Amino acid sequence: MIAVLALLAGVVLGVYLDPTVPAALQPYLPIAVVAALDAVFGGVRAKLDRIFDDKQFVVSFISNVLVAALIVYLGDQLGVGGQLSTGVVVVLGVRIFGNVAAIRRHLFRA
């Protein structure tokens, strides 16, 4: 409940403050968002599995974001930024799909 409220608060803040993304962060932000989404879906699934752990969620969230950004950064430095970020998005997307499938099974028994 608190989590949903916090998410909504963040959305509202983003809508009203209307900040601009600094140029240095622009390549990393989308990947970081996808990584965070992966962590959130994983958290929801764990909650449904009743194995949710606060600390683990926080750590996984932060490390997910950092590692994703780091991979993109490394890729940019190596000159394969585009391909590597595509790879990261694919991997995270597969994980999100798996998590969503599990959540669906929990909610609808199908």
Partner 1 sequence: MSEEHRETGTGWPRPGEPARPSGPAGEPDPRPDAPDPDELSPLAPVEPVEPAPDEVAEPAEREAVPESEPEPGAAAGAGAPSAARRFSSAGAMIAVLLALLGFTLVVQFKTTSTDPTLAATREEDLVRISSDLDSRERRLRQEIELLEESQRQLRSGEQGRQAALEEATRRADELGILAGTLPAVGPGLEVRFSGPAKAVSSTRILDAVQELRGAGAEAMQIQGADGTAARIIASTYFVDGAEGALVVDGRRLTGPFTIMVIGDPATMRTALNIPGGVVASVRDGGGNVTSEDREVVEVSQLHAPIKLDHARPVS
Q: Work out how close the CB of 89 gets to partner 1 at its nearest, in angstroms, rounded to a whole number.
A: 13
Q: Is 21 in the site for partner 1 (CB under 8 A)?
A: yes
Q: Is 15 in the site for partner 1 (CB under 8 A)?
A: yes
Q: CA-to-CA distance for 77 and 81, rounded, in angstroms?
A: 7
| Type of residue numbered 93 | G
Q: Is 84 in the site for partner 1 (CB under 8 A)?
A: no
24-83 positions binding partner 1, by CB under 8 A: 26-27, 29-30, 32-33, 36-43, 45-47, 49-64, 67-68, 76, 81-82
Kindly state the tokens that stand for 36.
């965070």
- Give the number of C-alpha atoms closer than 13 A to the C-alpha of residue 101, restricted to the C-beta side: 6
Yes or no: say if 83 and 75 are a contact pair by the CB < 8 Å rule.
yes
- Give the number of C-alpha atoms closer than 13 A to the C-alpha of residue 12, restricted to the C-beta side: 6
- Contact positions vs partner 1 (CB under 8 A): 2-3, 5-11, 13-15, 18-21, 26-27, 29-30, 32-33, 36-43, 45-47, 49-64, 67-68, 76, 81-82, 91, 94-95, 98-99, 101-102, 105
